[in-house]
């Protein structure tokens, strides 16, 4: 055991200057923990490219493969298959490149275009590329080049496999719907560059919350409050007791992290602020009240999502279907149902919601048409404005919806 110990110690001493040959993948990459492989999404895109070179783009237009002149001696059929992205902090789709296993003496370039949606919860400087090996491990590319003007990340490769764009720093979740009075934890997840011991032991790196001694600065913009936890990279956001008129709150975190220079391989620290969006929603309501013999009933868990309210009168049951606008303050209504031979041919209207910030929330329903068919009698029509009371729930039946 003693000779082996001396070899390891010597290797650790030399690693900082000359390298020891134990770093799998070399200094331009490091391994992340294995995951399952992605599954195909849509159709493959193929193209025959010969010695003259050429380009091929994925079906969604985000990935572009560039084959330089004389990179292949003969015509090769290249394929790009869009797949689900299983990489840690993966952005958008991943891609399967073929011919699988073929090696190229001249590097080919892979470029992925990102958009503003990809940057939710992260920043451009944290973006990188990775490929997945046969054992499922992802190899992060320190040499990946970021072009913020063109919004692309690119790297050179001499072999084909599954590739993906990912973020080394990200808030989780990027967006959450939080019911009034409830809380939501927000975590700053980092995929740091591995240290010397991790490289020496050829371990895969797991993306996780920052260490307990990490320095972060949490701030809140909007309604609600922030509650510290025992871990500085995790914060709890608590929504206010009532849904405010502006129901969007932003949880910001300022932190420092290392960025790589693809030319020199050196790492430098920068300071950036990331943001997660909290959408404050109501805890839920019971529909109550009556109108012209109809008694209202039903549960409304979210005024910003479609919901139904029943109107019942003895043996008749009508279903009022509400389709809200984006802010949930208004929308359209369609009616169906009946009973005892009564058939509703047509029923439509509009509605508004008021009093959400008070104890008198209600729906003002304006029916433009309400026509029913009665056997042996004929038809009846109606219209007008009626009210449905909304009573806040004191149960948890809307939790998880």
Looking at residue 332, its pLDDT comes to: 95
Segment (H or E) for 15 = helix 2-15
Distances 180 to 69, 286, 302, 361, 392 between C-alpha atoms, Å: 60, 16, 11, 15, 11
Segment (H or E) for 109 = strand 103-113
Looking at residue 365, its pLDDT comes to: 92
Report cis status (omega within 30 of 0) of the bond before 126: no
Q: pLDDT, tens digit, for every residue of 244-254?
A: 889 899 999 99
**How many other CB atoms are there within 10 angstroms of residue 110's CB atom?**
24
Q: pLDDT, tens digit, for every residue of 88-115?
A: 889 999 999 999 877 888 999 999 999 9
Looking at residue 373, its pLDDT comes to: 58
Rounded CA separation 369/333 (Å): 11
Looking at residue 18, its pLDDT comes to: 32
In the predicted model, residues of the chain with pLDDT beneath 50 are 1-26, 198, 201, 377-378
Rounded CA separation 2/10 (Å): 12
Cβ 307 vs Cβ 300: under 8 Å: yes
Please name the residues in contact with 264: beta carbons below 8 A apart, sequence gap of 6 or more.
Answer: none
Cross-strand bridge partners of residue 253: 218, 274
Short-list 87, 67, 71, CA closest to 79: 67
pTM: 0.68
Rounded CA separation 125/122 (Å): 9
Please name the residues in contact with 234: beta carbons below 8 A apart, sequence gap of 6 or more.
Answer: 185, 186, 187, 188, 209
Looking at residue 395, its pLDDT comes to: 77
User: 84 is written with which tokens?
Assistant: 């689900």
């Amino acid at each position: 055991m003693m000779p082996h110990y001396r070899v390891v110690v010597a290797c650790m001493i030399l690693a900082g200057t000359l390298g020891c040959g134990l770093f799998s993948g070399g200094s331009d990459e490091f391994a992340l923990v294995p995951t399952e492989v992605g599954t195909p999404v849509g159709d493959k895109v193929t193209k025959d490219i010969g010695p003259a070179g050429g380009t091929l783009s994925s079906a969604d237009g985000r990935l572009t493969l560039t084959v330089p002149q004389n990179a292949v001696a003969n015509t090769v059929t290249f394929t790009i298959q869009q797949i689900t992205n299983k990489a840690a902090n993966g952005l958008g789709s991943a891609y399967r490149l073929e011919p699988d296993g073929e090696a190229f003496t001249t590097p080919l370039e892979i470029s992925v275009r990102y958009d503003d949606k990809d940057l939710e919860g992260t920043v451009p400087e944290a973006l990188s590329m990775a490929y997945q090996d046969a054992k499922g491990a992802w190899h992060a590319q320190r040499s990946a080049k970021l072009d913020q003007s063109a919004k692309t990340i690119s790297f050179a490769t001499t072999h084909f496999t599954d590739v993906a764009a990912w973020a080394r720093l990200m808030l989780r979740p990027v967006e959450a719907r939080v019911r009034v009075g409830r809380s939501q934890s927000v975590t700053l997840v980092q995929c740091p560059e591995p240290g010397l011991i991790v490289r020496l032991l050829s371990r895969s790196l797991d993306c996780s919350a920052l260490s307990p001694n990490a320095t972060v600065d949490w701030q809140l913009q909007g309604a609600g409050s922030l509650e510290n936890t025992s871990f500085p990279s995790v914060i709890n956001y608590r929504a206010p007791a009532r849904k405010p008129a502006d129901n969007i709150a932003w949880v910001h975190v300022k932190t420092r992290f290392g960025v790589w220079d693809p030319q020199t391989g050196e790492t430098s620290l920068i300071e950036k602020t990331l943001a997660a969006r909290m959408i404050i929603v109501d805890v839920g309501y019971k529909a109550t009240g009556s109108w012209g013999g109809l008694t209202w009933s039903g549960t409304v868990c979210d005024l910003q999502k479609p919901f139904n309210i029943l109107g019942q009168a003895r043996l008749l049951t009508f279903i009022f279907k509400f389709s809200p606008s984006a802010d949930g303050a208004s929308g359209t209504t369609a009616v169906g149902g009946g009973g005892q031979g009564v058939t509703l041919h047509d029923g439509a209207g509009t509605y508004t919601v008021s009093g959400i910030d008070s104890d008198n929330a209600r729906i003002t329903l304006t029916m433009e048409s309400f026509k029913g068919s009665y056997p042996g009698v004929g038809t009846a029509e109606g219209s007008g404005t009626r009210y449905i009371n909304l009573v806040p729930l004191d149960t948890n039946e809307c939790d998880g919806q």
